[in-house]
Amino acid sequence: MSIQPTPPALSIAGENFGSALMAGTAGYPNRQVMLDALSASGAEIVTVSIRRVDLTGPRESLIDLLTGKYRLLPNTAGCATARDAVLTAGLAREALGTNWVKLEVVGDRETLYPDVEQLLKAAATLTEQGFAVLAYSNDDPITCEKLADMGCAAVMPLGAPIGSGLGILNPYNIETICRRLTTPIILDAGIGTASDAAFAMELGCSGVLLNTAIARADNPVGMAGAMRLAVEAGRAARAAGRIPKRLYAEASSPELGLIGS
């Protein structure tokens, strides 16, 4: 009997990864905690904000610490216009030698929700320029379909506002997006604890990206390990297939042979 190869946990832009968990690098108490948490998470893709990265300084930079260990995913965090996002992506490609970019174009500083008009404009430009665009989006199936149709390498709908820890506020929309699109769907933003990450995978997401839930936890390293297990469990549960929900009880043991029957 031939042994079938184990499929990758996540495939994006022609690259395969053994983990479906993607992690951020912001907000940790210090860099050692960050490195320990990233290791415990099992993540192979790590996001870095170009605004926070010192690409010219003499001391050891964040990039120096991560290069060779992780697939770096620069993001355009803080950009409010398509123009700024495109310029930031170009800087990242030149400095880091990667055409991958997590595209964020935020339209509101209170909610940090995407500006859909500017997001679509930036995504169209960057895909035409040969970028592998992983687009942070609201949880609107129509917007997500448009991003996929443009050729984005992945679509990343939010579960809840960035850093809120509220979990997945609209699971119906997330499940609809996953069902409609063949493009990888990465749940991004809002994760608060391990059960949220597992739920995202059970809904059909290809992966989960999170930062604050680990970085701001009482024990970031411990939470990173929990997130790793949660994503693996959710992915396995989705593959196994849950039982249907019922409005009434159904005994798991047969009634045949009961006394008095």
| Residues assigned a catalytic role | 102
Write the burial class of residue 107 (CB in 10 Å: 0-12 exposed, 13-18 middle, 19+ buried).
middle
Q: Which amino acid is at 244?
A: P
Cα 98 to Cα 35, 75, 104, distances in angstroms:
22, 12, 17
Q: Partners of 157 in the beta sheet?
A: 137
Which amino acid appears at position 76 of this protein? Answer: T
Rg (CA), the chain: 20
